[in-house]
Structure 1
């Protein structure tokens, strides 16, 4: 059973309700910045983990402004779409709400609160950082206070409205899967520092794993070894310990006793949660 640390009570609690029903995940973003992206990613991982456990989920994005930009950035990061309104969930048997936020002063409704630590974006080679890594546009700074900006239209094809508002954002979203992996590599309660070196290292790890997965796919398939499956689920069901999940993948890739077919199935299985497109290179090897 997935358990999360509830910042409201200071105790671990079940993420899925005791009475099986719809769980609403509400992500709170005060503006478009790297920390907001981490909030949206955390909500996405929670959604994926709950769905893997058979719990139906409803997701809402609450923000006072830049709603369309946040949605565009979320799409680039392979984050599942947010619904357009919170009222519909009440008619579907909602039994619990979980709130994901980085703002310690945000006003949220009843239910567990998952707090996300800030992301610091290093802008140059001399250690200079912008605030808490936040890129503030005009009019930013208002708290969410539970306000939902409602539905927003998507940007025109080939253009990301987020990049127009924040010239630095394309640097982060140039390789969104590397950003995703870099954020997954740090416990959500710890601050993250992102810079070119960190993203290059994440991109290199992704390329290495994708080449390996493509090679393993050429061997006969084997099931995910039960001890590996247990380690994986124990990690992500322990407050979404994604660094722990990545450690298991590293061990699987290095274990000389595991058949290649089992490695492939393990990486394919975990990618349902990580959404790193680990099978991208299938068929590319001669």
Structure 2
């Protein structure tokens, strides 16, 4: 398993390449999951102050934008990406064995969505992102309708809570919790551990609302769940 922190050092930007598998069916989410892992990796490295350049090979994933995945800096073949990014990628993300040379390889397990969950038109598009973040990237996952329902409700609850906390006096973020979260992310992109930490923080009555707000906002820079987007909206306009 790739220890992310081992690849944060070095001059210039960190170059990352995500290889989207070819020939996915309508219920497959593996390509999206590969791109999501690359997106989270980039956000983790950027928190350390290092720039990240990302390339994508393989077919286009139409749902990537809705899932909060930032666009690639380059697309094409590995050779075209290396040229466009100014050098070969240091990290390769793929769902299959990578036969290219150079760099560390992060193997992403398969993901799919059940037939009953293939058309969640009334769900927040980021619910899929939340479900995938809640599973270790190296373990296969099947996204069910029940999991999407739970993620949709969790997003709405957290956004309402963050908007409410934003009305309270600002307080320093929970530094120990943030250090624990970043250690989990830098070790193995363990976003699931971060989600559990935020669940515990939400329920902790001893932490001031202002500190909860700052902590949720900071960690959402990696999670990419738009947890602050309800701030300033009227209750009538908020999602139930």
TM-score bracket for the superposition, by shorter chain length: 0.7 to 0.9
Cα distance in 1 between the residues matched to 2:120 and 2:90: 34
Q: Structure 1: any 5+ residue segments left out of the alignment?
A: 126-167
- Seen in structure 2, the aligned counterparts of structure 1 residues 239 and 275 have a Cα distance that, compared at 3 Å, is same
Residue from 75, 81, 85 that aligns with 1:89: 85
Alignment partner, residue 118 of structure 1: 110
Structure 1 position 13, deviation (Å) = 6.6
Alignment partner, residue 40 of structure 2: 45
Q: Deviations over 1:215-256 (max 9, x none)?
A: 101100111122122212122112111011111111111111
Is the 1:216–1:261 Cα contact (8 Å) retained in structure 2?
A: yes
Structure 1 position 193, deviation (Å) = 1.4
Alignment partner, residue 30 of structure 1: 21
- For residue 189 of structure 1, give the secondary structure of its aligned residue in structure 2: coil
Q: Deviations over 1:238-277 (max 9, x none)?
A: 2111011111111111111110000001111011111101
- Seen in structure 2, the aligned counterparts of structure 1 residues 60 and 95 have a Cα distance that, compared at 3 Å, is closer
Alignment partner, residue 107 of structure 1: 99
Name the larger-Rg structure.
1
Alignment partner, residue 54 of structure 1: 49
Cα distance in 1 between the residues matched to 2:68 and 2:228: 15
Q: Which has more helix, going by share of residues?
A: 2
The number of residue pairs the alignment matches comes to 225
Q: Deviations over 1:27-79 (max 9, x none)?
A: 0012353011000000000011111111221100011xx33xx2x32112111
Cα distance in 2 between the residues matched to 1:240 and 1:52: 13
Structure 1 position 96, deviation (Å) = 5.3
Is the 1:29–1:36 Cα contact (8 Å) retained in structure 2?
A: yes
- Seen in structure 2, the aligned counterparts of structure 1 residues 79 and 172 have a Cα distance that, compared at 3 Å, is farther
TM-score by length of 1: 0.73
TM-score by length of 2: 0.86
Is the 1:76–1:173 Cα contact (8 Å) retained in structure 2?
A: no
Is the 1:22–1:96 Cα contact (8 Å) retained in structure 2?
A: no
Cα distance in 2 between the residues matched to 1:269 and 1:80: 18
Cα distance in 2 between the residues matched to 1:214 and 1:50: 27
Cα distance in 1 between the residues matched to 2:53 and 2:121: 28
2:65 matched to 1:75? yes
Is the 1:98–1:112 Cα contact (8 Å) retained in structure 2?
A: yes
Alignment partner, residue 224 of structure 1: 173
- For residue 75 of structure 1, give the secondary structure of its aligned residue in structure 2: coil
